[in-house]
Amino acid sequence: MSATDTTQAEFSEVITHAHCRAIDMPGGTGRVALITLDNGFDHTKPNTFGPGGLASLDAAIDAALAEPGLVAVALTGKPFIFAVGADLTGVPQLTTRDEALQIGRLGHRVFRRLGELPVPTFAFINGAAMGGGLEIALHCTYRTVSSGAAAISLPECFLGLIPGWGGTYLLPNLIGPADAIKVIIDNPASQNRQLKPRDLVSLGIADTILEPADFIEESLRWTAGVLAGDIDVPRREIDRGDTWEAAVAGARAGLDARLHGAAPAPYRALDLIALARTATRDEAFAAEDDALTDLTFSNELRAGLYSFDLVQKRAKRPVGVPDKSLARPVTSVGIVGAGLMASQLALLFAQRLEVPIVMTDLDQARVDKGVAYAHGEIDKQQAKGRYNPDKANRLKALISGSTEKQAFAKADFVIEAVFENLAVKQQVFAEVEAVVSETCVLATNTSSLSVTAMASGLAHPERVVGFHFFNPVAVMPLLEIARAERTDDSTLATAFAVGKSLKKSCVLVKDAPAFVVNRLLTRFLGEVTAAMDEGTPFEVADHALDPLGLPMSPFTLLQLVGPAVALHVSETMNEAFPDRFGVSSNQRRIVESGATELLDWSTDSPRIAPAIESLLELGDSPSTGEQVRQRALDALAQEVRLMLDEGVVAEPQDIDLCMLLGAGWPFHLGGITPYLDRTGTSERVTGARFHAPGVASV
């Protein structure tokens, strides 16, 4: 029985068909067989490879070899899509190691044919090429890429897998181990960073970049030049000695510092890159098969797929949102404030909405500084080649400033980003309401205050909505949109329409203290700082959560947030929920001292800065790292249950989505709620799981 026969029933695959046609090359040099990958759908359903798709590609290669006068084989995709890799829909149904192993071997057998044919092979990367889609191109002898292609990456480690169809062997041997590590390990760890077409050429993955309008024709013309010997394609000389070993050792140290062994996939990928230095192709591909099989049955993959599904599907279809037909058009935006956050907002709104943006502040100097920041960021983008001069000038012309609220008279959407004080924000909204139209939406970027209270003194409280961004605004994808007690459907629909135009992932939250992310982070951090206040050594408390592989330690996060901001939020939460949220007297002393730097980074591992250490008053009841970690997780389980009972969000999936996108909760943990279920914490603390058995777990 073939590998296709043994696994086909396990996959609900939309088969990607490979169609082959012969093209006579100019000058009578022979025929090129062009294989086109196409699953029969538009670009919203990309080409993927399951057993059926691999069988179709295998047959197309046979058809290509049957062409008389064959001089080359080329591969491309349907419009906008090259291929996006393995079809993962059947992974949860795989029950034995042999089934998973056969899938890996089948992919290797078919893909490697393109690197071992008696004629050269060419990949014409016309669009998205992710995972196995990029790997199949690596098996080819040469590669062209369209300048219009988007979404190019090897994202497997992001999900809990490795590039298991040749990527960990072919890529380092093509571009060197250091750059391969960036593509295979570092980019997935950086919010699944994608490569641009020009990156492919600069790295040496693609051999030339061509314009999209006539990409196939130009790729064939380039192919003819290569075949005729008119075009020389140089290859990088790869050092297989100490340089390779040093790159792997440096990457391993980086993984240890960041993940502490919590996620197996990047470590397996690194082992395979190390092996690729000396292994034969057969040995390397067999090792990839073993690694892929092991990871297919890991908690990490199930968790990664759950996280990926939330980000790709739920984030694009937020729950509980009024019909988009109720949204009002937004043709002008006002921003109250001209500080760093307000300036970042001005830049984002101008770039995404391309409508006039007006910032206001108390004096002209502050206004000028805010406008200058936004203009300066646009200039930087132009210098990097991302904007031409005309586009840069148009964007800068959209951003202006004033010291008068009257500048908002024509605005359809005004957002405040001023000091986090309820009385100040109430005054701001009162001043804005006096000059804007009755339909203008008033949004607040508050992170913890009551939106309902802000709107309470207004003539039209129904047009006030929470619109909470995360810092840095350009990078963080989450937008918490809070419905106050009197927010109407039209206002809410408009807020979500604007959020979508800003290319943010929007989640509807109730107007509750600190919404989702800051509420959970404050509780989480509060338990760790309380443990240190009780006498737990700093090193123990700060590293207690290392086994989770979080993006940063608790006190590094506290430093990033800033002691004053963290204190303000904890005081707000203490006022709302005094039984669960404490206020650290040590933290208050730090803020009152005026100190801003908590940590001393002069050594290999950060420690409390000496000036801060002298302010601390610690108890004599230390905890172990395990006790601190369990205390923090227990607190999270309790808080999540209470938030769901209060209706802060519709379902546990919304909490997971918020933490994945707003707090950097690791994909390999699969969201907070499945992780708490998987470890038994949710049942022990709250008496029940958050999900049915099987969600994001083996």
Domain ranges of the chain: 3-240+275-297, 324-510, 517-647
Q: Give residue 14's pLDDT.
A: 65
Q: Give residue 694's pLDDT.
A: 67
Q: Is the pLDDT of residue 461 over 50?
A: yes
Residue ranges of alpha helices (H) inside 354-384 are 364-383
Closest CA relative to residue 442, chosen from 417, 419, 421: 417
pLDDT digits (tens, 9 = 90+) for 109-152: 999 999 999 999 999 999 999 999 999 999 999 999 999 999 99
Q: Give residue 2's pLDDT.
A: 28
Q: Give residue 281's pLDDT.
A: 96
May I ask the CATH architecture of the domain 324-510? 3-Layer(aba) Sandwich (3.40)
Q: Give residue 1's pLDDT.
A: 22
Q: Give residue 597's pLDDT.
A: 87
Q: Is the pLDDT of residue 517 over 60?
A: yes
- Asked if 136 contacts 83 with a C-beta cutoff of 8 angstroms, the reply is yes
Domain 517-647 of CATH type 3.50.50.60: no
Mean pLDDT, rounded, for 585-606:
88
Give the whole-angstrom CA distance, residue 204 versus residue 287.
25
For 378, residues 6+ apart whose C-beta sits below 8 A from its C-beta are 347, 350, 387, 392, 395, 396
pLDDT digits (tens, 9 = 90+) for 206-247: 999 999 999 999 999 999 999 999 999 999 999 988 999 999
H/E element, 503 = none
pLDDT digits (tens, 9 = 90+) for 392-424: 999 999 999 999 999 999 999 999 999 899 999
Q: Which of 82-96, 108-122, 171-185 has the lowest mean pLDDT?
A: 82-96
Q: Give residue 497's pLDDT.
A: 97
Q: What is the 3-state secondary structure (H, E, C) of 398-416?
A: HEEEECCHHHHCCCCEEEE
End-to-end Cα, the chain, rounded Å:
28
Q: Give residue 109's pLDDT.
A: 97
Q: Is the pLDDT of residue 697 over 70?
A: no
Q: Is the pLDDT of residue 387 over 60?
A: yes
Mean pLDDT, rounded, for 643-651:
96
Q: For the chain, give the mean pLDDT.
A: 92
Q: Give residue 3's pLDDT.
A: 31
Q: Give residue 415's pLDDT.
A: 98
For 305, residues 6+ apart whose C-beta sits below 8 A from its C-beta are 88, 91, 92, 159, 160, 696
State the pTM of this model: 0.87
Q: Is the pLDDT of residue 87 over 90?
A: no
Per CATH, the number for 3-240+275-297 is 3.90.226.10
Q: Which residue has the tokens 């919203």?
A: 44
Q: What pairs with residue 403 in β-bridges?
A: none
Q: What percent of the chain has pLDDT over 70?
A: 97
Q: Is the pLDDT of residue 190 over 90?
A: no
* pLDDT grade for 565, boundaries at 50, 70 and 90: confident
Sheet holding 70-77, edge to edge: 17-24, 31-38, 70-77, 121-125, 142-146, 208-210
Mean pLDDT, rounded, for 74-101:
87
